[in-house]
Amino acid sequence: MRSPQVEPAAALPTSVTIYEVGPRDGLQNESAVVPVEVKAEFITRLVTAGLSTVELTSFVHPRWVPQLADAAELLDRLAATDLTGLRRAPVLVPNERGLERALDKGVTEVAIFGSATESFARRNLNRGYDEQFAMFAPVVARAREAGLAVRAYVSMCYGDPWEGDVPVDQVVEAARRLLDLGCTELSLGDTIGVGTPGHVERLVESLTATGVDVDVLAVHFHDTYGQALSNTLTALRLGITTVDSSAGGLGGCPYAESATGNLATEDLVWQLHGLGIETGVDLEALVSTSVWMAEQIGKPPASRVVAALA
């Protein structure tokens, strides 16, 4: 299989942690409901392909996300599976009840899903912008007491489908409040894929100017407007080394009329490997995993690299 010609660039990290969101964010946004054994195989194949950080599932109520209603059963299956190489295995929890279910299954890292805007907080969390922090506070406190790492997603950082432009200061405030609750990592989400590189620069520089350590920041771009990889490159130049992506580009975008969702892991890996940046990923094994998963859900992969290589 073809691989990129390696030509390093100035001012970039030597290695990047790919935070794989396909099994959770990807499958959550696909209309097909995937059987639990297929999910377990998907995750096993991702880990075998070298992805060492995989968000496994979500303990959200099945009424809201029927695609992930099998979270407990999936974790039981994975507990009986050899997942050598998996270093971080976070699970999304929406609230205290979700956290308790995750703790029962012995998870060591959870993620919460915050919003930078009032409109999305109301629609996605059924809470106001301010209220979300009160809802998250006991979740984060309990998780940290139990020794867990806690990632916080900050969604709608670059634009909101109902509010339009989102002020950078507002995103900084949301991010600071989530860190103040005790979160150990922030994933800055371009949930609708509208951001551009100068916007990334301004947001990241605004955060670090308030004293946020760049090491706690991750980026999460959707490719709805084709900007995800340029924005990622910009974030890498600013010192960020954790990048969210989804194998095969799995997961559409529920808030834009486009089939294109998360940045595809393969497209990211192609760029990183071309730049000589280590990821630990075997691209050939990853592409074959995404091709196999696309067959399971009956939809061609959104990843351009997969389309070119498969």
Subset of residues 189 to 228 that bind its own copies, contact rule: CB under 8 A: 193-199, 201-202, 223-227
The piece of 35-43, 68-76, 116-124, 262-270 that touches its own copies (CB under 8 A) is 262-270
- Indicate whether 113 belongs to the interface with its own copies (CB under 8 A): no
Question: What end-to-end distance do the CA atoms of the chain give, in Å?
Answer: 9
Q: Among residues 118 and 267, whose Cβ is nearest to its own copies? A: 267
Q: What are phi and psi of 298, to 5 degrees?
A: 70, 40
Rule CB under 8 A: say whether 165 interacts with its own copies: yes
- Residue 198 burial (10 A CB sphere; 0-12, 13-18, 19+): exposed
Q: Is 4 in the site for its own copies (CB under 8 A)?
A: yes
List Cβ neighbours of 57 (8 Å cut-off, separation of 6 or more).
23, 24, 39, 68, 70, 71, 74, 75, 91, 92
Q: Of the listed pieces 26-34, 124-132, 145-153, 270-278, which binds its own copies according to CB under 8 A?
A: 270-278
Directed axis angle between helix 168-180 and helix 197-209, to 10°? Answer: 50
Residue tagged active-site, from 74, 93, 253, 263: 253
How many degrees, rounded to 5, is the angle at CA 200 between CA 276 and CA 158? 130
User: Closer to its own copies at the Cβ: 48 or 206?
Assistant: 206
Q: Which residues are CB-neighbours of 247 under 8 A, at least 6 positions away?
A: 20, 22, 26, 42, 46, 51, 264, 265, 266, 286, 289, 290, 293, 303
Q: Does the active-site annotation cover 183?
A: no
Q: Is 148 in the site for its own copies (CB under 8 A)?
A: no
14 touching its own copies, by CB under 8 A: no
Cβ at position 8, least distance to its own copies in Å: 5
Establish if 53 lies at the interface with its own copies (CB under 8 A): no
Q: Which amino acid is at 222?
A: H
Task: Point out which residues bind its own copies (CB under 8 A).
Answer: 2, 4-10, 12, 158-159, 164-166, 168, 193-199, 201-202, 223-227, 229-230, 232-234, 256-260, 264, 267, 270-271, 274-276, 303-305, 307-308, 310
